[in-house]
Structure 1
Amino acid sequence: MDLKKELILYVVFGVLTTVVNIIAYVVFAKFLNVDYIISNIIAWFLSVLFAYITNRIWVFESKSDNILREISLFFGGRLFSGVVDTSLLYLMVDILLIGDFVSKVVTQIIVVVLNYVISKLVVFK
């Protein structure tokens, strides 16, 4: 697949992953009255699973038979980028005294790029 198509699909499925995350959170937190932290963890897990499936099938068109390795690397990469996200947010807001919204936008751009690179070079290589 050419890079342009791959990047477009990555962005499209990234947006859909965000939608899955928000819907799952609302279902668990608001409709099922599950604690908001637990709801967020469930939403994160379901959205990362959705992202893995869509990235495997449509974005990177993986043919690997070792799904356990792939999914472990994918979830591990997302955990890593979550730590990077939180750490950069802390650095920017509490140390550099940049506003939290601007900082969040900047960290999200970094995280999207980081997730793409991890997926392209490590998970679905």
Structure 2
Amino acid sequence: MKKRILKLYENDVIRYIFWGGCTTLVNLVSFYIMRELGIILMAANVVSIILAILFAYVVNSRFVFHDQCATLADHIRPFLKFVSARLVTMVIEVGGVWLLAVVMGFHDMVAKFCTQFIVLVLNYIFSKFIIFTTGKKTGGSK
């Protein structure tokens, strides 16, 4: 069983789903806590997304795509690309939560949860093909 799990973990899609799930938890739990503390909807949403973005960069760079950044300076370009791509999906997420919660009347957490699927797919595409390319061979698989 352990060998089967390790074999599955070799696949970057499986790693992305696992760490993406952890990132989603960071996003949802921080959003929930802030809403319980009385922080307004949009502020809680934006802050929870920022926390998730920071967490996601670290785990995606290190554990999912194994980016080959040797120094802190090597991280600047992929980090800026990562944040730029995540800002695009953040606009989609914020707009989606607003549309579902405010306009359509869904519960905040339902609205937040529903937007995660679109964001997850887009973030994978951006990360795999645009952001984490440092030190990778092109035209072939690892």
Normalising by structure 1, report the TM-score: 0.70
Question: Which secondary structure state, in structure 2, belongs to the residue aligned with residue 37 of structure 1?
Answer: helix
Aligned equivalent of 1:47, options 52, 63, 67: 52
Match of 1:13 in 2: 19
Distance 1:34 1:118, change over 3 A: same
CA–CA separation in structure 2 for the residues paired with 1:40 and 1:109: 16
Provide the residue aligned with 1:59 in structure 2. 64
* Identity in percent: 30
**How far is 1:115 from its partner?**
1.8
Structure 1 unmatched ranges of 5 or more: 91-100
* Alignment of structure 1 residues 79-90 onto 2, 5 Å: 79-83=87-91
| Counterpart for residue 94 of structure 1 | none
Q: 2:121 aligns with which of 88, 96, 113?
A: 113
Deviation at 1:25, TM superposition (A): 1.0
Residue range with higher mean Cα deviation, 36-45 or 20-29: 20-29
CA RMSD of aligned residues (A): 2.8
Q: 1:28 to 1:54 in 2, by over 3 A?
A: same
Give the direction of change, closer, same or farther, for the CA distance of 1:82–1:26 in structure 2 (3 Å limit): closer
Distance (Å, rounded) in 2 between the aligned partners of 1:111 and 1:9: 17
Alignment correspondent of 1:93:
none
1:69 aligns with 2:92: no
Cα distance, 1:55 vs. partner? 0.3
> CA offset at residue 111 of structure 1?
4.0
CA shift for structure 1 position 51: 1.0
1:30 aligns with 2:36: yes
Distance 2:131 2:118 in 1: 18
Which stretches of structure 1, 4 residues or more, deviate above 6 A after TM superposition? none
In structure 2, what is the Cα distance between the partners aligned to 1:23 and 1:34?
14
- The structure with more radius of gyration: 2
